[in-house]
Chain A
Amino acid sequence: MRKVLEVRNLRTHFELVEGTVRAVDGVSFQLNEGEVLGIVGESGCGKSVTAQSIMRILPKSARIVDGEILFWNQQDVVDLTKLDSEGEQMRNIRGKDIAMIFQEPAACFAPVYTVGEQMIEAILLHEDMSKQEARRLALKMLEKVKIPNPESVLDRYSFQLSGGMLQRCMIAMALSLNPKVLIADEPTTALDVTIQAQIIYLVNQLQKEYSSAIMWITHDMGVIAQISDRVAVMYLGQIVETAPVKDLFRNPLHPYTRALLRSIPRLARRKKKLEAIKGVVPDPYNLPIGCRYHNRCDSFIQGLCDEREPTEVEVDVAHRVKCFLYGGR
């Protein structure tokens, strides 16, 4: 499998009046051609900031302070952190080679232009074709994402379409330029379950046709299990465990992953009390010293976990974990 994207030791920090928030703090992972990498974590763990760092669409207060984001574009390798976020080269990559779909589709389409106008504009920005050709491509893409009456949807405004339909339009728009990497940031969170199931089914189908590598961000372990090949679990700005999806669910190693899997209510397994994770996610301005999970951890080792930060160890093929229980000293 060929690498298309590799993130090395990425650190993205926010400089705010109250202090520095180390939202992403030493994240490394790679994304291979044609695979779906699921990134799972709770709010504030840095999963969206990681995505925004790759796309270089961070808010003004954020800065990439360290690390590399390597992107394989044909023969060249570019480090996206070195590019000007508003420069020509990054603008060419963004939307064409790396596309993104967002959680709130209604917020991503402007209400004053039709869906078609916006899709066509995106295509024309990157491709040298006529307006008619672009319209035909947009139409073809809407058919691909199974929108009924695609012709009429092209001429409608975002507020005339339901959330599920708009999410399909956004997927169509993102895939229309056949990107190498597709970043999906919680694309089904705002949708109802039956619509979510439709979108997951659709993406699984499209994945077979387009060879795009997908980075799928979510907080939902169910969605992760259904869609990804590999999973990275994030906690407070760091990846604590990476594994192939079956390994992760069958043999979770990091105490946080284990607790997370135990705490979700499951269908067909009714039990009166859920095993909750104790405590709350710590204040981002004062991160715990040592392992960031130590104050909520069941296997906390005094004098070790609260003093030093574990390094990542490879426990099994492609199964890496950042915890002293498995070495990492």
Chain B
Amino acid sequence: MATGHKLLEVRNLKKYFPIEKGFFKRVVAYVKAVDGISFDLFEGETLALVGESGCGKTTTARCILRAIDPTEGQILLNIDGRMVDVAKLSRKELKPLRRYMQLIFQNPYTSLNPRLKVKEIVGEPLFVNKIAKGKELEEKVAELLEAVGLRPEYMVRYPHAFSGGQRQRIVIARALALRPRLVICDEPVAALDVSIRAQILNLLMELQEKFKLTYIFISHDLSVVQHVSDRVAVMYLGRIVELASTEELFDSPKHPYTESLLLSVPKPDPEAVEEFRPIEGEVPSPVNPPSGCHFHPRCQYAEEVCRTTVPEFRDVGLLENPHYVACHFAERLSLKGVRQL
């Protein structure tokens, strides 16, 4: 569980991708993939980033890891009590910090090098960081494989010999090799079968406890998110529209987009088949997002002010239980959560 220490502070993070045209690569427009988001991450918690494709979840993750350079904003990482702005560091300064942050990818079929043995895949981070080599390296790899539920003897095999779920275990072992503080899980179970999904989710939760990990959990699947996360941030077109504790967000959402997301999840219960009208329209292009509140063209509660003014991202919750939302009418609307469905 969360300890109350901040591990990460993201402030006004922006990432614009230029669209270039013609021989001189003139910049004609920008894709505003992430457009000014702020959130805190506390040690030991799982914060979920949810939203539909193109909402900027993965771009946010890649900025935090400095896999890409953010356009603007601060990413403050707590390193033994010191807040370091990851966004400002040079490549060289970043190197020693890389081990604090790791990533688990979506597709275990493409994130493992088919020419390396498991021993080399999981051992590589230890080797390049000069933590272990030779016999000691092998022991460490064996330990890691056991931690993720694989037999240590498997380390001499190549990735093709493993099923999807087992491969994802290898990816997890590699991510944990350097004992990171922050692990970003980018859709870690989306590519897996239902029966395997539960195994991997359980494993991730076990490992969190064992290694005191903090997760940013990226997913489009709300039922998975509800299961694993402590807090949830809902993203829409590059902005966070709502951020609250999982229970609060699912029981009493305050943003109309969150409500329609919750309504859209097909419930595994044939008795609950109801004639609801799903929200219309599709996510607009991030090159030319709607004015004001990005969600207004699809929102059934939208009024004139939504078209003209960007709603402030503000706290409408109680003191102990903050609930951030970016909607002009957050206080007025009474929206349906999952319990009322």
Contacts and interface: CB of A to CB of B under 8 A. Distances in A.
Interface of A: 42-43, 162, 164-165, 192-198, 200-201, 219-226, 228, 245-246, 248-250, 259-261, 263-268, 270-277, 280-281
B266 A201 contact: no
7 contacts: A165-B282, A195-B282, A225-B272, A264-B223, A267-B265, A270-B246, A274-B227
Given A263-B194, A273-B205, 14 more contacts: A165-B282, A193-B222, A196-B266, A219-B193, A221-B194, A221-B268, A222-B266, A225-B272, A249-B270, A261-B268, A270-B226, A275-B198, A276-B199, A281-B195
Given A259-B195, A267-B265, A280-B196, A246 B271 contact: yes
A194 B261 contact: yes
Interface string B162-193: 01011000000000000000000000000001
Contacts of B193: 42-43, 219, 281
Given A194-B261, A201-B278, A281-B193, A225 B223 contact: no
Contacts of B276: 201
Contact of A193 (B220, B226, B246, B280): B220
Contacts of B199: 276-277
A265 B219 CA distance: 13
B338 A267 contact: yes
Contacts of A225: 266-270, 272-273
A196 B201 CA distance: 24
A198 B279 CA distance: 7
A265 B277 contact: no
A28 to B, nearest CB: 23
A43 B262 CA distance: 26
Contacts of A228: 270
Nearest to A229: B270
B266 A266 contact: no
Which of A193, A196, A198, A264: most chain B Cβ within 10 A? A193
Contacts of A194: 52, 260-261, 264, 278-279
A260 B272 CA distance: 19
B268 A272 contact: no
Interface of B: 52-53, 163, 165-166, 193-199, 201-202, 205, 220, 222-224, 226-227, 246-247, 250, 260-273, 276-280, 282-283, 338-339, 341
B263 A197 contact: yes
B278 A265 contact: no
A267 B194 contact: no
A42 B195 contact: yes
Nearest to A42: B193
Contacts of B198: 263-265, 274-277
A266 B277 CA distance: 21
B223 A265 contact: yes
B78 to A, nearest CB: 27
A194 B263 CA distance: 8
A197 B266 contact: yes
Contact of A245 (B202, B250, B263, B270): B270
A272 to B, nearest CB: 7
Given A270-B247, A280-B165, A264 B268 contact: yes
A260 B163 contact: no
A280 B197 CA distance: 11
A193 B261 contact: yes
B298 to A, nearest CB: 8
A297 to B, nearest CB: 12
A322 B198 CA distance: 25
B53 to A, nearest CB: 6
A248 B268 CA distance: 11
B339 A268 contact: yes
A222 B195 contact: no
B269 A249 contact: yes
Contacts of A246: 270-271
A303 to B, nearest CB: 26
Contact of A226 (B196, B261, B273, B341): B273
Contacts of A275: 198
